Amino acid sequence: MSTEAGIGVMGTELGMMSYFETDGTVVSVIVVGFREGNIVTQFKTSATDDYDAVQVGYRRVRDKKLTKPELGHLGKAGVIPMRHLKEFRLQSVEEFETGQKLAVEEIFKEGDLVDVSGTTIGKGFQGGIKRHNFKRGQISHGSKSHRELGSIGAGTTPGRVYKGKKMPGRMGGSKRKIRKLKIVKIDNEL
């Protein structure tokens, strides 16, 4: 069974914009920046580690932000301190070497479909209306429950609130993955 997904890169979302395709249709796109470089920090081979993989580092950081083991690991590879490290499994790691910079235009081309994962924006503690799209209560006619949940129990018989009930709580700040996003354009001048 192959677990290869291919080599990947890490980037920072810079924002969104509209892009005009050649036929005149307008597409909403997310702009991702790779200014801080993707550098190969380590590669593993099936001879030593039972699988082939490449570890890539992203975003330069000051030495004091990393622990001694992290600094030792990156120092042994002879690369600058990096904030994020990610491992990508491959069939072969022959074409990679430690300290090599990965250029986005060499890995991907326009029209490729990619899987994108990241962390959603944290919204903090939110109520049921914003978090779960609940309907609000009456505003007038003597109602005092405008943005409250309403009943959360099921009556006398269970005598409790079921586990997993949608209620107010922390929203956002979680990992998400979107598959098969199309690369519309690769531009190094942004």
User: 12-120+174-182: which CATH number, 3.40.30.10, 3.40.50.300, 3.30.160.810, 1.10.3720.10?
Assistant: 3.30.160.810
pLDDT at 37: 82
CA distance 18 to 26: 6
Average pLDDT value for the chain: 90
Residue boundaries of the structural domains of the chain: 12-120+174-182
> Which residues partner with 124 through β-bridges?
171
Q: How many other CB atoms are found less than 10 A from the CB of residue 9?
A: 18
The answer to whether the pTM exceeds 0.85 is no
Low-confidence ranges of the chain (pLDDT < 70): 1-5, 190
Three-state DSSP class for residue 73? helix
Angle at 28 between CA 22 and CA 29, to 5 degrees: 90
What digits encode the pLDDT tens for the residues 82-115? 999 999 998 888 888 898 899 888 889 999 999 9
Q: How many other CB atoms are found less than 10 A from the CB of residue 96?
A: 18
Which has the closest alpha carbon to 115: 2, 1, 5, 17?
5
